[in-house]
Amino acid sequence: MNIYVGNLNYNLSEEDVTELFAEFGEVVSVKLVTDRETGRAKGFGFVEMADDQAGAAAVAKLDGADVQGRNIKVNEAKPRENTGGSGRPRRDGGYNRGGGGFGGGDRFQRNQGGGDRGGYGGGRDRDGGRPQRRERY
């Protein structure tokens, strides 16, 4: 059984978490997630236990338990959704598609301007009329 463990004290090691879960059964592996750039713990990780019954007992007993001053969150890990290769969920659009700011509005009509589309360029007023001339000095 694969178990999610969250709200961990940042000072806990994988060995500490292994000891915590070992009283319920055989711990196959422990992986605490760290920041890629700094290497610091992010406060959560995953525990794999050999037996589903032992894992369920650990979840029932440890969820909400105080471990080094923090009430940890423990539940069965859910499989990661297929996100398309990058590891991140796909999002439609680019920069701030919802209007306002760079790249707002429909991507193929970026320079059409328009009232609520936002984005760079266009030069048309909010009513969608002709571009207004600007005086040059």
- Global pTM reads 0.59
Give domain status of residue 16, yes or no: yes
Q: Are 64 and 101 found together in one domain?
A: no
Give domain status of residue 12, yes or no: yes
* CATH code of the domain covering residue 49: 3.30.70.330
- Cα dihedral 71, 72, 76, 80, rounded to 10, equals 130
Q: How many structural domains comprise the chain?
A: 2
Q: Are 66 and 99 found together in one domain?
A: no
Q: What pLDDT does 12 receive?
A: 95
Rounded CA separation 30/5 (Å) = 10
Give domain status of residue 82, yes or no: no
Give domain status of residue 26, yes or no: yes
Closest to 47 measured CA to CA, from 72, 33, 29, 62 = 29
Q: Are 67 and 24 found together in one domain?
A: yes
Contacts (Cβ under 8 Å, ≥6 apart) of 70? 7, 8, 9
Range of the domain at 104: 95-128
CB 58 within 8 A of CB 28: no
Q: Are 21 and 51 found together in one domain?
A: yes
Tokens of 44: 């959560």
Contacts (Cβ under 8 Å, ≥6 apart) of 109? 117
Q: Are 11 and 68 found together in one domain?
A: yes
| DSSP reduced 3-state for 27 | strand
Q: Give pLDDT tens digits for 72-97.
A: 999 999 888 776 655 565 555 555 54
Q: Give pLDDT tens digits for 23-45.
A: 999 999 999 999 999 999 999 99
Give domain status of residue 120, yes or no: yes
